[in-house]
Amino acid sequence: MILDKLTDFSRRTGPVVLCIMDGIGYSPYEDGDAYKAAYTPNLDHLHNICPNKPLLAHGTSVGLPDDGDMGNSEVGHNAIGGGKIVSQGAKLVNEAIATESMFSGTIWEKLINNVRHKESTLHFVGLFSDGNVHSHINHLKAMILKSKEQGVKSIRIHTLIDGRDVGETSALEYVGPFEQFLSELREGGLDIAIASGGGRMKLTMDRYEADWPMVEKGYNCHVHGIGRQFESAEAAIRTYREELSCIDQNLPEFVIAKDGEPIGKIQDGDSVIFYNFRGDRSIEFSLAMESEQFDAFDRGTHPDIEYAGMMEYDGDEHIPNQYLVNPPLINGPMGEFLSHNGISQYAISETQKFGHVTFFFNGNRSGKFDDNLETFIEIPSSLTPFEENPWMKASEITDSTIEAILSGKQDFVRINYANGDMVGHTGDFNATRIACEVVDMQIGRLIKAVKAANGILLITADHGNADEMYERNKKGAAVENSDGSIKPKTSHSLNKVPFIVYDPQGASYLTFADDEKAGLGNIASTCINLLGYKAPDDFAPSLITLK
């Protein structure tokens, strides 16, 4: 894994700093763009004086099935750090279902045989939408139909309501047709029903151990049937909306009950499939469901079940123990090459995106390649709602990063500012505008540090979000609610993202390659070039040509 040095370019004495502005892209619209509306003097200045190029960050450019698929932080950081594009979660699951390789696998057969032999229940838990970032409802339907075909008699679904990767109040657009789907299956003799649910930001789907009580709430709801009872998921959604005026992702937990008794508790002898394919928000619930030694919260009487995830969510820690589809294999990511060539690395973010600059960036590996060369810094995230604290931990991240840049000990520094994405997901335009301004302010601080250290600053994003805060119809017009207000968009965008090269000494020595299809996968080769090396042959080409 030894890299050849460039003979016609000498790297700067300071570090190459890669700044990832999570969720900030280029929108074709003026209205609804919180990034354009923000006061961003530092980014504006860099756009005017520095070489820059818009990059693709969605669809096939990051390994997703279709160019209509939104990018996300997981696949974005895989592409940036991996230096190559591999088939990602949704595409892998699509292929496994289309070829039926999933259903002939030993784990699927084990779970199905378990409930058939014990005459018990098969449970599906997961994000209930077609957002295709964490899950897809068509995957759920395909598994239900196959399990019925294979003789399963009883099925329960635990619906984590989205409103984040899809419209913020779109839940009933999924629940209604799905209930019709279930009704037709019941007419065919299958005992099947929605058993529990709640908003994705209220239960079950925490990540990076930021909020274990959120997982506990989901566990108690799905497993023990603890929560406010309703006769149907639709009744729960309508009631909570009327009482709390909350959007889908913030719906409290609900339990479907008959005569006061939950209809779908997870019990001894059952099989459970967590059908999310994305890993970050699946690990903690998987640990709660399958770990023998578990102390994050009191699980009460823990049922003896067969549990599997859609994929292996952590390849190093092997979480979960059982999974249906093999994860993407990203061999030889940039970080591994840098470590083998003695290049020190510094990775930092707050908890919300820490795994993205470490685990995902390193090709889905949770460890380090070289403990002596790599420093990982996690700034603990606040539990304050993002729209109430759009500053998040950006300032603290910058404090530590500046210290690293000026230390003279780091060759390659990577940062993720989560503000544009996490605040953008709330649908709060003004808070998201402030989030963009916060990131710009931190970039101003980085510019000074990079200049003082004689380094190079690269600025990009993993996908868009803050750039498109309004829902739009097919003609591109903003969608209005019944009261005349604009309907907020809480999901990612399909827009290109920035890539800016700031060299305090001037960057006349480089030109951008003329490639309209350039994307996040081309960044790794670019970083390696600016560190003074030739990129590996199997990496996507560099974005730049060095004179």
First and final C-alpha spacing in the chain: 26
| CA atoms of 293 and 493, how far apart (whole Å) | 41
Q: What is the DSSP letter of 356?
A: I
Query: How do beta strands 510-512 and 544-546 pair?
Result: antiparallel
Length reported for the chain: 547
State the maximum Cα–Cα separation within the chain, in Å, rounded to a whole number. Answer: 78
Count how many Cα atoms sit within 13 Å of the Cα of residue 493 in the half-sphere of its side chain: 32
Q: What is the DSSP letter of 165?
A: S
Helices marked H in 191-267: 212-224, 233-244
Buried b (16+ CB within 10 A) or exposed e, 28-51: ebeebbbbbbbebebbeebeeebb
Which regions of 75-188 does DSSP assign to beta strands (E)? 122-128, 154-161
> Hey, what are 108's tokens?
């699927």
| CA atoms of 395 and 442, how far apart (whole Å) | 7
Residue 482 appears among annotated catalytic residues: no
| CA atoms of 275 and 140, how far apart (whole Å) | 7
Contact 228, 252 (CB under 8 A): yes
Rg of the chain over CA atoms, in angstroms?
24
| CA atoms of 193 and 290, how far apart (whole Å) | 24
User: Annotated catalytic residue: which of 73, 170, 196, 286?
Assistant: 73
The helix, strand and coil proportions of the chain, stated in percent and rounded to the nearest 5, come to: 35, 20, 45
Sheet of 499-502, strands arranged across? 374-379, 345-350, 412-417, 16-21, 456-460, 499-502
Q: Which residues does the annotation mark as catalytic?
A: 73
